[in-house]
Amino acid sequence: MQTREKREKEREEMGDTRRVGVAVDFSPCSNKALRWAVDNLARKGDHLIMVVVRPDGHYESGEMQLWETTGSPLIPLSDFTNSTIMKKYGITPDPESLDIVTTASKQKEIVVLLKIYWGDAREKLCQSVDNIPLDSLAIGNRGLGKIQRVLMGSVSNYVVNNAPCPVTVVKSND
C-alpha cells in the first residue's frame, strides 16, 4: 500500500489534480461545508467530490444492490443535476447545493462529481478517503450538545480521528 505522501508526489510529477471531498447530506450544515470547501479549498482544475452516505437498507433495485459495498460510480455534475437520474439513487439534491456546485464548476473551472455510499456514515466517509482517493475532506458539524453526542455519536469527531487525510470540520451556527 502506498503512503499518502508518495501518492501526492506522484500526482505532482504527473500533473494530476487534487481531489477535495465534502461530506454532504443536503442539510444547511452540509451546504455550509460545501460552500466553505469551494471558497477555501478548491482550485482551478481540482476535482470536488461530494460524498453522500445513505442509510443501510434493503434495496430492490439491482444497481443499489451492486453498489452497497463499494459505493456508486462517480456521478458527473450533468447527471447529478438531472432529477430523473438522481431518483434512481434515492437522492434529491436541494437547490442550494446545486447552485453552489454549478457556479463553482463554471467560475473556478473545477470538476464536480458525486459518490454515494450506503451504510454507517462514520465508516463510509473514512473508507471514501482511500477508495476514491481523497486528498482532503470537509464535513459539517451539527453542533450537538455533550449529551446528544454521547447518545448519537459525532460523525465529524469520528472522521477527524480515523480518516487518513486532513479533515476540516465546518461548524454550524444554527
- 61-72 average pLDDT score: 67
Domains of the chain, start order? 16-171 (3.40.50.620)
Residue type, position 63, single letter: E
Lowest-confidence region among 55-69, 79-93, 107-121: 55-69
> Cα separations (Å) of 122 from 19, 28, 117, 162, 168?
20, 19, 11, 9, 15
Indicate if the pLDDT at residue 89 is higher than 90.
no
Is residue 131 packed enough to be buried (19+ CB in 10 Å), middle (13-18) or exposed (0-12)? Answer: middle
User: Which has more pLDDT, 16 or 110?
Assistant: 110
The pTM for the full model equals 0.82
79-111 in b/e burial notation, b at 16+ Cβ within 10 A?
ebbeeeebeebebebeeebeebbeebbeebebb
How confident is the model over 116-145, as pLDDT tens digits? 998 899 999 999 999 999 999 999 986 555
Using pLDDT thresholds of 50, 70 and 90, give the confidence band for residue 7. low
pLDDT at res. 147? 55
Using pLDDT thresholds of 50, 70 and 90, give the confidence band for residue 106. very high
Indicate if the pLDDT at residue 163 is higher than 90.
yes
User: Which has more pLDDT, 15 or 106?
Assistant: 106
pLDDT at res. 6? 57
